[in-house]
Amino acid sequence: MIVGSLVLIALLQAPLPAWDAPAAVIHAVPQATAESLTTIHALAGRLPADTPVVRRPLAIEYSDQYYTRLTIHRYGSYAMLPLFAAEYSLGQNLMNDASPPSWMKPSHSLVAGGIGVLFGVNTITGVWNLWESRQDPAGRTRRILHSVLMLASDAGFAVTGAYTPSHEQFSDYNTYLHRERVHRGLAIGSIALSTIGGGMMWFWK
């Protein structure tokens, strides 16, 4: 009995085992998992992607009216150069001939009116198509540059018409000659701008 009592007292006084060991293991597992995931992400960042991300181009659709306006616009530009040549020739003869024939000045005005109608049609069709193609990135810079040149030419021809000289308006001959030269210079400048703009459309479609 005495030996049994001593053994029992010794067991009661012994320190209890560490029961928090499983909790330590539980905390260690998520930490190891997080470290493993960090390592995997770091390695994945250095490895090339198997399937690269490619953005598909946006499909641009044009209406049938767009191509109709484009055809009108293009044929109008083909008629532009013959009208320019006729107008320049008539204007030069009016300036150089001391007594030009009576039909020359009305013909000059008639061709100028034809140029005005042509530019009105081409301005409407061109600006309309420019608006419809506003979301198409292909050739956008050329389209805008072409439009700017043609609109500047429109403005130039309008100012050229406003500077048309007349003997009734200017009684002084030197003033008349000056106005005539300004009219001619504006006309040539407008013809040059529209020829460059038209050439862009012919060569770059």
**138-190 pLDDT, tens digit each:** 889 999 999 999 999 999 999 999 988 877 777 777 888 888 899 999 999 99
What does the domain layout of the chain look like in residue ranges? 64-204
pLDDT at residue 52 greater than cutoff 90 = no
Give the pTM: 0.67
Q: Is the pLDDT of residue 28 over 50?
A: no
Q: Mean pLDDT across the chain, nearest whole number?
A: 79
**For residue 6, what pLDDT is reported?**
46
Using CA atoms, how far apart are residues 24 and 140, in angstroms rounded to an integer? 67
Asked whether 189 and 156 are in contact (CB, 8 A), the reply is yes
Q: Can you give the pLDDT at residue 24?
A: 44
What's the Cα-to-Cα distance from 8 to each of 2, 17, 67, 102, rounded to whole Å? 10, 17, 106, 144
Residue 49 has pLDDT above 70, yes or no: no
Distance from the first to the final alpha carbon of the chain:
117
C-alpha closest to that of 62 among 123, 127, 124, 131? 131
76 within 8 A of 118, measured Cβ to Cβ: yes
Assigned token pair, 79:
């008629």
**What would the two tokens of residue 68 be?**
């109709």
Better pLDDT: 59 or 114: 114
Question: What percent of the chain lies above the pLDDT cut of 90?
Answer: 49
pLDDT for the residue 75: 93
**H-only helix segments in the chain:** 2-13, 21-46, 64-96, 104-132, 140-162, 173-204
| Average pLDDT, integer, range 86-107 | 90
- Of 116, 96, 105, the C-alpha closest to 168 is 105
CB neighbours of 142 closer than 8 A, spacing ≥ 6?
Answer: 200, 204
Query: 87 or 30, which is more confident?
Result: 87
**CB-CB contact of 190 with 160 (8 Å):** yes
185 neighbors 91 (Cβ within 8 angstroms)? no
